[in-house]
Chain A
Amino acid sequence: MTKALVVFEKEWLEIRLQRGLLLATLAVPPLITVFALLVFLLAGLTPGGVSTGGFPLPPDLAGLSSRELAQAIVGKQFSVIFFLLPVFIPSVIASYAIVGEKRERTLEPLLATPIRTSQLLLGKSLAALVPSVVITLACALLFVLGITEWAVTPRVAGVIATPGWWAVLLVDMPLLSLIGVALIVIVSSRVNDPRTAQQVSAVLIVPVLGLLFGQLTGELVLNVPFALVGALVLALCALVALRLATDLFAREAILTRWR
C-alpha cells in the first residue's frame, strides 16, 4: 500500500503541475452545480409552476404544489448528474496513466523498481479517482445547500436529497468511478492513444442513465437498501475490474512491443 501511495503522490504532483488539465478537469463540476442551482431557482420563481398534464406522478412527488413540483423535477434530474461526474472527470487523468508513461519512456525504469503491478495500478487509479470524488462530493454538498436555501418549501429539498440519494452518492458513486478508472487503465495499458482509453468511460453512462430515467418514471426509488445492494454489486465489479487490470497488464509486451 505504501508504494501505491508513493505513486499516488507523484501522479497528483504531476497533475497539479499541469494547470490547464487541472482546470479543465476540476472546473466542470462547480460550473454544472452553479448552472443546476440557477435552473432550480428559476423553476421556483415561475409563477404557475408545472402542470403534470394528467400524467401520474411518482409516489415521492405526490402532493406537491405546482411550484414545488417544478423545483423537485429539476432538482431530481440534476441530482443524478453527481453520479455521472465521477465517471467522466477521472477519464482524462486515468487515460494517461499508462499511455503517458509509455510516451515519456518512463515505464522501463519504473518497472525496474521492486513495485508490483497491483501497487502501480492502484496508485494510478487513486490519483484519478480521489480528486474527482472529492470535487464531486464538495459540489454535491453545495448543491444540497443551494436547494435547501432556494427551495420554495422545505419539502422540495427533502424529495431531492433523500437518504437514498446520499447513500448512492457516498457509497455507490465512488465504486462506479473506481470501475470506470480500472477499465480505462486496462485499455490505457494496451493502446498508445489516450483517446481510445477515454472512450471506455462512455460505457458506464448506461447504468447512470438507467438511474435517471428510472427515477423520473417512478420505476426506481433511490433508497438506502437499493444503494447498499448496489454497493455490493459494484464492489464486486470493482474488485473484478482491478484484478483484471492487474492480470492484463503485460509488463513484457508493453516494454518490448511498444515503440
Chain B
Amino acid sequence: MTAAIETTHLTRTFDGRVAVEDLSVSIAEGSVFGFLGPNGAGKTTTVRMLAALIAPTAGAATVAGHRLGVDDDALRRSVGILTESPGLYDRLSARQNLTYFARLYDLTRAKAAEQVDRYLRMLELWERRDDPVGTFSKGMRQKLAIARALLHEPPVLFLDEPTAGLDPEAARTVRDFVAMLRREGRTIFLTTHNLPEADELCDVIAIFQRRLLRMGTPAQLRAGLFDAGTIVRVAGEARTFVAALRALPFVRDVTADGDRLSLHVDDPDARNPDVVDALTRAGARIRYVEPIRHSLEDVYLRLMSGGAP
C-alpha cells in the first residue's frame, strides 16, 4: 500500500531543547493514524512540521507525495489542518470565514461558494451560515474549523485534538464525521488524549513522547504489552478451582477473586476447551468464559510509566 505520509528521522529542536526526536513512520493512504502522547510530548510540533508550518531541524518527510521543505506550497494544497484552537474570525459569519479560506486555497469564486455550501450543510451549520462565528458554541466552532480544513478536498488531514473540550453529543458528531472521511479514502493523522476515541477510530496508533515509544494496530499494542488470558466465572467460590487450573501445564498464572478466575495462557483460542474440561472435571459450574481485555488506556499508561518491555 502506498504511504500518504512518510517521515525519516524527523527531528525538531527549539533552542537546543529536543521537541521531536528521530521520528520515522510510514502511514498508509486511506488510514486513520492515531498519535497519542501527553501534553508537551511534541505532537503539535510534529503536526506543524508535516503541514509545512515549521521546518524540521533534521530528517525528511513526504506528505501526499510532496517533499517537505522542497515543495511546501503544493504540500499545503494537499493537506487540511484542524489546529489546536479553531482559529476563526469571530466577527465574520460562518460562510465568510469559509469563503476566505476557500479562496486562499485557490478555489475559484464559484467553486468556493459550492464547497462552502456543501460543508455547511454536511456539518449541520447551514441554518447559522450568516451568523457571526463569535456567537457559536464550542462544538459549532470546531465543526466549522473541520469544514475549513476540508474545503479544498485534501487527501491528507491533520486533526489536532478534534474533540477536546466538546460535549459528548458534539464529540460523537465529530467522531462520526472522521469515520465518514476515512470511508472516503482520506488519510487522517489524528492527535488525541481521548484513548477510547483513538481505539474506535484509528487503524494504527503511535504512542509518542518526544520520540516514538510504540506503534501498531490497537490489537498489536495490547498483545505486545500484555499476556493473553482468559476470565472464567463460575458458580460459587472461584478459589476452590485454582489448584485444578495450576495443574495444567500451559497455564502460567491463575488468580481468583470472588466468582472470577483469571488465567494467563499463550493461546487462549486453542487452550480454552482444555481449561473448561479441567474445571468441569473439578466440579465447577461455568457461567461465562471471556478473554481478558486490556484497554488502550492500560497500554498507554504502561508505556508512559516506563513499564513496557
**Cross-chain contact A14 with B92 (CB below 8 angstroms):** yes
State how many angstroms separate the Cβ of A17 from the closest Cβ of chain B. Answer: 5
The majority secondary structure among interface residues of chain A is helix
Residue among A14, A111, A114 making CB contact with B91, cutoff 8 Å: A14
234-259 of chain A: CB within 8 A of chain B: 251-252, 255-256
Q: B residues within 8 A CB of A109?
A: 81, 83, 87, 101, 145, 148
C-alpha spacing A24/B84, complex, angstroms:
35
The chain A residue with its CB closest to the CB of B88 is A106
A17 and B91 in contact (CB under 8 A), knowing A3-B104, A108-B83, A114-B73? Answer: yes
216-240 of chain A: CB within 8 A of chain B: none
**Cross-chain contact B85 with A252 (CB below 8 angstroms):** no
The chain A residue with its CB closest to the CB of B149 is A109
110-158 of chain A: CB within 8 A of chain B: 110-116
Max chain B Cβ within 10 angstroms of own Cβ: one of A14, A108, A113, A115:
A113
Q: A residues within 8 A CB of B106?
A: 114
Residue among A7, A10, A14, A108 making CB contact with B53, cutoff 8 Å: A108
State how many angstroms separate the Cβ of B275 from the closest Cβ of chain A. Answer: 55
**Cross-chain contact A106 with B89 (CB below 8 angstroms):** yes
State how many angstroms separate the Cβ of A118 from the closest Cβ of chain B. Answer: 13
Assess whether B177 is interfacial by the CB under 8 Å rule.
no
Q: A residues within 8 A CB of B14?
A: 256
Q: B residues within 8 A CB of A209?
A: none
The chain B residue with its CB closest to the CB of A113 is B104
**Cross-chain contact A114 with B88 (CB below 8 angstroms):** no
A104 and B53 in contact (CB under 8 A), knowing A3-B104, A114-B73? Answer: no
The chain A residue with its CB closest to the CB of B160 is A108
A114 and B105 in contact (CB under 8 A), knowing A6-B100, A108-B53? Answer: yes
Assess whether A52 is interfacial by the CB under 8 Å rule.
no
**Cross-chain contact B88 with A18 (CB below 8 angstroms):** no
State how many angstroms separate the Cβ of A75 from the closest Cβ of chain B. Answer: 41
The chain B residue with its CB closest to the CB of A7 is B104
Q: A residues within 8 A CB of B74?
A: 114
Q: B residues within 8 A CB of A116?
A: 73
**Cross-chain contact A114 with B87 (CB below 8 angstroms):** no
Q: B residues within 8 A CB of A252?
A: 53-55
The interface of chain A, by Cβ under 8 A from chain B, is: 3, 6-7, 10, 13-14, 17-18, 104-116, 251-252, 255-256
7 contacts between A and B (CB under 8 A): A6-B104, A14-B91, A104-B87, A109-B101, A110-B104, A112-B83, A114-B77
**Cross-chain contact B89 with A14 (CB below 8 angstroms):** yes
Q: B residues within 8 A CB of A14?
A: 89, 91-92
**Cross-chain contact A106 with B87 (CB below 8 angstroms):** yes
Q: B residues within 8 A CB of A107?
A: 87
Assess whether B103 is interfacial by the CB under 8 Å rule.
yes
Assess whether B90 is interfacial by the CB under 8 Å rule.
yes
Interface string of B60-89 (1 = CB under 8 A from A): 000000000000011011010101111111
Residue among B54, B91, B101 making CB contact with A113, cutoff 8 Å: B101
Q: B residues within 8 A CB of A18?
A: 91
Assess whether B51 is interfacial by the CB under 8 Å rule.
yes
A255 and B54 in contact (CB under 8 A), knowing A113-B101, A113-B104? Answer: yes
Max chain A Cβ within 10 angstroms of own Cβ: one of B48, B77, B91, B104:
B104
Assess whether B96 is interfacial by the CB under 8 Å rule.
yes
Residue among B53, B77, B88 making CB contact with A251, cutoff 8 Å: B53
C-alpha spacing A98/B247, complex, angstroms:
73
State how many angstroms separate the Cβ of A257 from the closest Cβ of chain B. Answer: 9
What 18 new A-B contacts, CB under 8 Å, besides A7-B104, A112-B52?
Answer: A14-B92, A18-B91, A106-B87, A106-B88, A109-B83, A109-B87, A110-B104, A111-B53, A112-B76, A112-B81, A113-B101, A114-B74, A114-B104, A114-B105, A115-B104, A116-B73, A255-B48, A255-B54
**Cross-chain contact B91 with A105 (CB below 8 angstroms):** no
C-alpha spacing A72/B86, complex, angstroms:
58
Q: A residues within 8 A CB of B85?
A: 105, 108
State how many angstroms separate the Cβ of A246 from the closest Cβ of chain B. Answer: 16
**Cross-chain contact A114 with B100 (CB below 8 angstroms):** no
**Cross-chain contact A6 with B73 (CB below 8 angstroms):** no
Interface string of B1-44 (1 = CB under 8 A from A): 00000000000001000000000000000000000000000000
